[in-house]
Amino acid sequence: MFSKHVTSLSSAYFHDELAARESQRVAEHLLSCTPCRADFDDVKLGARFAEQLQIVSAPDSVWAGVVAQLEQKKVKPARLWFMKPLAIAATIIVVLAGGTLLLRSNRNTGAGQWNVARLGGSPRIDSQNIGDGSRLGVGQWLETDATSRAQIDVATIGNVEIDPNSRVRLLETSSSEHRLELARGRLSAHILAPPKLFFVNTPSGVAEDLGCAYTLEVDENGNSILHVTLGWVSLQLIDRESSVPAGAACAMRRGVGPGTPYFEDASELFRAALSKFDFADNQTDKTAALAIILSEARPRDAMTLWYLLMRVSAVDRANVYDRMTTLVSPPQDVTREGVLNLDQQMLERWKAKLSIRSELPQKKVHSFWKKLWTETLGRIHGLAGKR
């Protein structure tokens, strides 16, 4: 089933309505399938519009006019009670449709090939050895063996060095998005561009450039490790996200996504416990690991604890909060009760004090009307791309 496109599951996947195994397989398919990822991006775009919509009542004059028309056609308004909110929805959607058309048209512009230079050995593009002046096209694989290395120019915004025993593919290049896939091996990226323009897909998640330099490595099992040397990188899978600053690292596990960021000068005991907390299956192991993390944490490690606030149980959250306050005091308007209830504004203010430039995990969209906005706007965006 999942060797084929999964566009029919985009909405259910976004709204977390799939079984765990099915959701994981859809996530892995989206990493390597450009058309399905584009459809999923349409759904996410609809969600972003929906989050900014303010639902207000339509003027009475509008509804009175609808009722008058229904009476002329001898249709009782009571039978069509649902028409009023749908009419409001339709009005807002029409207003936003022009914007989605423009966004789609901008996405589809850009060159389709990147320059590739051989740095050593005999790198290959689609099984052909490369020479001077080679180019990597959309859909093509670049591979290095144990003795070869290569450098890829990322359009005009930077370059990526490909280490030995690596396999990468160009998925997309346009004025609004440049995207590689790293199936295995290691790359070093140096990007000088606005944030959210360069992406690298891996089997365990997506690295989104926020203006930076970093190395990203994928092992034979599809698990990844990111090391940031300049700026910030956001790691994402489904609605799980970790933003990693310079001097920090973050692991990703296939089927799980990004773990918790940590500074690389943290103690070995801290880092080992964090890995166990992020990826162990046994809850007892996780609980023991959390105790070590809190004990070993330094003021600099408050960044890691900030993420843990949203990744632990309500009981453990109190322990994390109490430890954080001994390391870095929260802003005056941030209360214990608010943080324990995951008040978004308070968390954002504390995050700002810690200089953690990350986004809070996206909230599940449970409202029927928000889901209607999401799906309808996403489909308008998708239809716009077919024009």
Quote the pLDDT of residue 253.
96
Whether 291 has a pLDDT exceeding 90, the answer reads yes
Instruction: Return the structure tokens found at 173.
Output: 């290049």
DSSP characters for 170-211? EEEE-SS-EEEEEEEEEEEEEE-S-SSSEEEEETTEEEEEEE
Quote the pLDDT of residue 354.
83
Tokens 């989605």 belong to residue = 100
Quote the pLDDT of residue 336.
95
Quote the pLDDT of residue 360.
38
Quote the pLDDT of residue 101.
42
Whether 361 has a pLDDT exceeding 60, the answer reads no
Comparing 53-62, 141-150, 155-164, the range with the smallest average pLDDT is 53-62
Where residue 343 falls among pLDDT bands split at 50, 70, 90? Answer: very high
Instruction: Return the structure tokens found at 72.
Output: 């002329």
CA dist., res. 215 & res. 234, Å (int): 13
Task: Report the candidate in 277, 326, 259 with the shortest Cα–Cα distance to residue 299.
Answer: 326
CA dist., res. 257 & res. 27, Å (int): 10
- State percent of the chain over pLDDT 90: 54
What is the Cα 123 distance to its own chain's centre? 31
Average pLDDT over residues 237-246: 88
Task: Report the candidate in 83, 82, 90 with the shortest Cα–Cα distance to residue 65.
Answer: 83
Q: How far apart, in Å, are the Cα atoms of 30 and each of 4, 35, 108, 288, 297?
A: 11, 9, 19, 35, 36
The DSSP symbol for 331 reads P
What is the Cα 303 distance to its own chain's centre? 19
CA dist., res. 376 & res. 46, Å (int): 7
Which residue would you say has higher pLDDT here, 68 or 119?
119
Question: 131: helix, coil or strand?
Answer: coil
Where residue 318 falls among pLDDT bands split at 50, 70, 90? Answer: very high
CA dist., res. 154 & res. 197, Å (int): 11
Whether 78 has a pLDDT exceeding 80, the answer reads no
Average pLDDT over residues 87-100: 47
Tell me the per-residue pLDDT of 208-226, one tens digit each, with 9 for 90 and over. 998 789 999 999 999 999 9
Domain segments of the chain as ranges: 7-109+368-385, 267-361
Tell me the per-residue pLDDT of 97-133, one tens digit each, with 9 for 90 and over. 444 444 444 444 335 899 999 999 999 999 899 877 7
For 184, residues 6+ apart whose C-beta sits below 8 A from its C-beta are 165, 166, 167, 218, 219, 220
Q: How far apart, in Å, are the Cα atoms of 220 and each of 185, 189, 256, 324?
A: 8, 21, 16, 37
CA dist., res. 344 & res. 376, Å (int): 27
Average pLDDT over residues 296-301: 96
Helix (H) or strand (E) holding 295: helix 283-296
Whether 141 has a pLDDT exceeding 60, the answer reads yes
CA dist., res. 80 & res. 59, Å (int): 18
Residue type, 213: A
For 76, residues 6+ apart whose C-beta sits below 8 A from its C-beta are 70
Q: How many C-beta neighbours within 10 Å does residue 296 have?
A: 17
Backbone angles phi, psi at 27, to 5 degrees: -60, -45
Is 345 in contact with 330 (CB distance < 8 Å)? no
The chain-wide mean pLDDT, for the chain, equals 80
- State percent of the chain over pLDDT 70: 69
Whether 60 has a pLDDT exceeding 60, the answer reads yes
Residue type, 75: V
Which residue would you say has higher pLDDT here, 263 or 193?
263
C-alpha triplet 38, 27, 278: angle, nearest 5°: 135
CA dist., res. 136 & res. 170, Å (int): 7
Alpha-carbon torsion 26, 32, 33, 39, what sign?
Answer: positive
